[in-house]
Amino acid sequence: MPEPIRAVEHELTALLRRGRAVSWEIAREVHPNLEPNTYGLLLWLRRSGSIRLTELAARLGVGKGTLSRQINGLEALGLVNRDPDPSDRRAAQISLTDEGQRRFDLARSARLGEFLRALDDWPARDVEEFARLLGRFNDSWK
């Protein structure tokens, strides 16, 4: 195995470990009973506004059953709405409630502050390149 690939694996493992810890913290900030693995789901919902359950499952790479259970939990916490899709009454449109959006935005602001502190002494060009490369890497997993 080429050494640069091993270095990528090492650094990604460290990043993922740190990301899980941050997700725990942020999830608790959004709601004390929120499961940490649902932060990414809330992020997608915040970005997309309203999205069909099947489309969200495809974007996240999870099964509809798993996603539906997570959505049920978020609904019970008052963070998510599930409404009939006007174009297909059998389908559901998922979106953040006003309270879910407010809580998410507050918690996300703290997280972005941490990123800002970590990247503060980086040249803007490096931050842009880092974001571009991370996007490219993530796109290669689709």
Q: Print the domain residue range for 88.
A: 3-140
pLDDT at 142: 64
Query: Over the range 64-78, which residues count as b (16 or more CB within 10 Å of their CB) and which as e?
Result: eeebbebbebbeebe
Rounded CA-CA distance 3/1 in Å is 6
Number of domains in the chain: 1
Report the CATH number that the domain containing residue 62 is assigned in CATH.
1.10.10.10
Could you tell me how many residues make up the chain?
142
pLDDT by 10-residue block (mean), the chain, 142 residues = 89 87 83 84 90 88 89 94 85 92 90 89 96 91 71
- pTM score > 0.85 for this model? no
